[in-house]
């Protein structure tokens, strides 16, 4: 069963930007104190399991990893970025339904 990965300032380049295949990477920027993040968190975990082998799914704690959060202009959390081939190809800000996250992630699977 898949589990969302933990990305850090140190690992982000290797795990996300230089990901070895052309699978999309969904990154959830979150913080422990963020109420809406707690709503999105379990959904991200479900997606990690459902998309295992098709996409890479992970999280970045913005408090512990300010460098990555700043680099991608994260001002509101939760913010979810979808990367493909090292580039941001889609962005979701705020707590959104699982169906919307799946729709945007599926769009990148077919590209």
Residue numbers annotated as active site? 34, 37
Q: What is the C-alpha to C-alpha distance for residues 90 and 78, in angstroms, rounded to an integer? A: 14
Helix-strand-coil split of the chain, %, nearest 5: 35, 25, 40
- The secondary structure of residue 2, as a DSSP letter, is -
How many other CB atoms are there within 10 angstroms of residue 32's CB atom?
11
User: What phi, psi does 5 have (nearest 5°)?
Assistant: -80, 160
């Amino acid at each position: 069963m898949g589990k969302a990965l933990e990305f850090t300032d140190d690992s982000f380049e290797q795990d996300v930007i230089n990901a070895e295949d052309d699978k999309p990477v969904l990154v959830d920027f979150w913080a422990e104190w963020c109420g809406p993040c707690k709503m999105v968190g379990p959904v991200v975990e479900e997606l990690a399991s459902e998309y295992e082998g098709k996409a890479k799914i992970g999280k970045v704690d913005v408090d512990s990893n300010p460098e990555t959060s700043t680099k991608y202009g994260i001002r509101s959390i939760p913010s979810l970025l979808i990367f493909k081939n090292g580039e941001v190809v889609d962005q979701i800000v705020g707590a959104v339904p699982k169906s919307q996250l799946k729709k945007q992630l599926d769009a990148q699977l077919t590209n």
